[in-house]
Structure 1
């Protein structure tokens, strides 16, 4: 199998690249690092040049901008990464008859009627959710046989503390910062390596004609609020929780889903079992490098 992973410099993209390591795979990122090919995923010429060179069987699109600060400070750029890149990659893959796996988000739902099945009607609350839904529509309009994988919030080995909500919260807890964290909105943190394994399985299913659903869900089953995550971290590492307070900041904004629990349906019959990674077993090794660490909080 020949594969190209767009967005391979990001949290999910790095893990997906590792999951495809035994194939003929190329990782593409906006910045050339760690052997990646530099590609602007919003540039048709950049994308087409790479696909013409590598002639992949499968293309995985992990490109996206999930940071709220970027939605507000550089909305055009953020929209480009979430929507325009999807359009360019999809059209280029279709023209070259490569199968496409596109990564989307549980934020396409408003969180008022969980749990959500793949065929439930989306109703995003914020600009990020609207962009992700628009990207899904763009993908399926241009390439009806593409697979769209919706994922919840991810955690895993981070390159900087603010790369994931979990490591960012853990860093603040370890510094003894005064925190008031939302205790209303529930999230389902899923290990990035687990999500990457699902991507690999779906790619194989696409190639063998075993993937019949256009939209597929994958998620961990256990939910946490940000406040509960902070307490779990504090208790696991013997840190004080006296300065951590429960609040309603995210819920009060009105543009954050309350509960987007996903029903994992639509998986191919030949998919096989995926190694589930229990949060309480996996999170300590992920956050420990960022506890009272001199590494940068953001990049």
Structure 2
């Protein structure tokens, strides 16, 4: 299998690139284009076409995206470009060079009022990020009709900086001991990036062998937690005080955060039955421990 992973410097992209090891794979990055990644500006049709023309992949995986709320507010045009423009350009390139395309999307295309959500349920995003992800899905399927959209929830895994995921950012805040109030209404379904990456690998193989006919697929962990519950789990797991952590409704009262976007995973190829599920309670300690100021050994 010959593959190109766009956005291989991000959390999911790094895991996908690792999962594709052993194949002829190229990973791209832009601001973080080190460790063997090819520097590609995914908002440039020329950059995309030059790479695809050189590598002629059978599969393209698009992990490019801007999920940080601070970027939505401070640089909205740039953030929109990374979520919508890149999706369209990569899809156009994949179709032009005859590659099958797997595009990564988000559960934020739903408003969280009618969970659980099936792949064919009507999207209704609440915030600008969700709208961008929906626009990206539409652009992808218009430019490359045989593409597959993979919607994923909140991801966690080994990070390069604490703010790279909500989980490690919460862990850092918990460990500092300052008073904090976290939402205890909106439910997230943290899914390990390595698990999602294995799904990407299985989907790529299924696409190449004509074993996947769906245009939209969901994958998600089954356990849901609020930010407040995540913080309590972290504090208690590492013997930290939780007296400074208060339950609140900040995300819910904003009106632009879905209450519950639980995804229904159905209609998947049989090979997905053997994807290794990573229970959150057993996986999160090793992920957050490096970001605590006084690391403690993770108990077995």
Q: TM-score range by the shorter chain?
A: over 0.9
Query: Could you report, residue by residue, the CA deviation over 1:173-202 in whole angstroms, capped at 9, with x for unpaired residues?
Result: 111121100000000000000000000000
Q: Which residue of 1 aligns with 2:93?
A: 92
Q: Distance in 1 between matches of 2:141 and 2:9?
A: 25
Q: Distance in 2 between matches of 1:145 and 1:271?
A: 20
Query: Could you report, residue by residue, the CA deviation over 1:61-87 in whole angstroms, capped at 9, with x for unpaired residues?
Result: 000000000000000000000000000
**What's the CA shift for 1:271?**
3.6
Q: Distance in 2 between matches of 1:280 and 1:249?
A: 25
Which secondary structure state, in structure 2, belongs to the residue aligned with residue 150 of structure 1? strand
Q: Distance in 1 between matches of 2:268 and 2:185?
A: 30
**What's the CA shift for 1:273?**
1.5
Q: 1:278-289, aligned counterparts within 5 Å?
A: 278-289=279-290
Query: Could you report, residue by residue, the CA deviation over 1:236-279 in whole angstroms, capped at 9, with x for unpaired residues?
Result: 00000000000000001000000000000131234442100000
Q: Distance in 2 between matches of 1:104 and 1:152?
A: 9
Structure 1 runs of 4+ off > 2 angstroms? Answer: 269-272
Which secondary structure state, in structure 2, belongs to the residue aligned with residue 276 of structure 1? coil
Give unpaired runs (5+ residues) of structure 1.
295-299
Give unpaired runs (5+ residues) of structure 2.
296-300
Q: 1:72-221, aligned counterparts within 5 Å?
A: 72-221=73-222
Query: Could you report, residue by residue, the CA deviation over 1:17-67 in whole angstroms, capped at 9, with x for unpaired residues?
Result: 000011000000113211100000010000000000000000000000000
Contact 2:43 2:89 in 1 (8 A): yes
Q: Do residues 49 (structure 1) and 50 (structure 2) align?
A: yes
Which secondary structure state, in structure 2, belongs to the residue aligned with residue 8 of structure 1? coil
**What's the CA shift for 1:290?**
0.3
TM-score w.r.t. the length of structure 2 is 0.97
Q: Which residue of 2 aligns with 1:15?
A: 15
Contact 1:215 1:266 in 2 (8 A): no
**Corresponding pairs, count:** 294
Which secondary structure state, in structure 2, belongs to the residue aligned with residue 89 of structure 1? helix
Q: Which residue of 2 aligns with 1:274?
A: 275
TM-score w.r.t. the length of structure 1 is 0.97
Q: 1:15-34, aligned counterparts within 5 Å?
A: 15-31=15-31, 32-34=33-35
Q: Distance in 2 between matches of 1:285 and 1:270?
A: 28
Q: Distance in 1 between matches of 2:4 and 2:151?
A: 19
Q: Distance in 1 between matches of 2:124 and 2:178?
A: 35
**What's the CA shift for 1:293?**
6.0
Q: Distance in 2 between matches of 1:54 and 1:30?
A: 18
Q: Distance in 2 between matches of 1:293 and 1:242?
A: 18
How well do the aligned residues superpose, as a CA RMSD in angstroms? 1.0
Query: Could you report, residue by residue, the CA deviation over 1:98-156 in whole angstroms, capped at 9, with x for unpaired residues?
Result: 00000000000000000000000000000000000000001111111111000000000
Which secondary structure state, in structure 2, belongs to the residue aligned with residue 180 of structure 1? strand
